[in-house]
Structures are given as C-alpha cells and as structure tokens.
C-alpha cells in the first residue's frame, strides 16, 4: 500500500490539484481544511507526510507546525509548508518553526510531486 499524505489546505482547487497529482503517483491522500483541529487530525491519521498551508481558517500554519514539532511522534514528520507570500521573512519563519520544505503559491504540479518525493525519501 502507498504512503499517506495529509493535505491541510482550505482552497478546494489546490486540494483537488494536489490530491490528483499525488494519488496518480501512488499516494493515499487525506485532506483537512481548518487550522483549529489540524494538529489532532495529524495525530489521528498518522500520515507519512504533511502538506500544510500557512493561511488557514482558525489557526496559522506556523502555529500548527510549531505544535507538531513540539509533539510526541510528530517532531520529525516531513512537512511541506505552502504560502502565498514568499518573502525572505516568510522563509525564515518557516525554517525557524521547523518546516522540512517551503513552497510559494502558485506552484506547478511537478514542483509539488518532486518535493513530496524528496521528503518521503524517494
């Protein structure tokens, strides 16, 4: 069975695009679309990898990432952080919170696939 990726994103078109490209590549794709209980969703689903949007309803992706890094069993989970803002400050924040990888929207399907494969170790 393929590995599982949890996509935490609130824009349906992005969820659909990422879900399509990854499921075609053999991934099981689960989705979650609000920030409030995103950490619980990660713990409940125990994915191999998380794609996390910075701008989410209820809670920022940075806060979620910080909690994942501090949590038992999620501290070394690969997290690909997505943001619409790609300034240096955003990159620095992503790194300081422990993002495995940082990607600015809009991105290409090929970029996402390559990042996910890299993070998954193959």
Tokens read off for 83: 């943001």
For the stretch 12-68, pLDDT in tens is 999 999 999 999 999 999 999 999 999 999 999 999 999 999 999 999 999 999 999
* CA dist list (Å): 73 to 3, 38, 45, 69, 96: 17, 15, 12, 9, 19
Q: List, in order of start, the domains of the chain with CATH numbers.
A: 4-119 (3.40.50.2300)
For the stretch 89-106, pLDDT in tens is 999 999 999 999 999 999
Confidence of residue 1 (pLDDT cuts 50, 70, 90): low
pTM above 0.85, yes or no: yes
Contacts of 13 (CB under 8 A, 6+ apart): none
- Looking at the predicted structure, is the pLDDT value of residue 122 above 70? no
Q: What backbone phi and psi angles, to 5 degrees, belong to 85?
A: -110, 125
Q: Which has the closest alpha carbon to 61: 120, 4, 6?
A: 6
């Amino acid at each position: 069975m393929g590995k599982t990726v949890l996509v935490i994103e609130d824009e349906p078109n992005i969820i659909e695009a990422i879900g399509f490209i990854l499921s075609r590549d053999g991934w099981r794709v689960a989705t979650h679309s609000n920030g409030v209980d995103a950490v619980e969703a990660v713990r409940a689903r125990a994915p191999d990898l998380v794609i996390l949007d910075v701008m989410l309803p209820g809670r920022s992706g940075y806060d979620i990432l910080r909690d994942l890094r501090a949590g038992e069993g999620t501290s070394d989970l690969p997290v690909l952080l997505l943001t619409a803002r790609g300034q240096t400050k955003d990159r620095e924040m992503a790194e300081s919170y422990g993002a495995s990888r940082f990607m600015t929207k809009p991105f290409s399907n090929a970029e996402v696939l390559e990042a996910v494969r890299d993070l998954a170790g193959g």
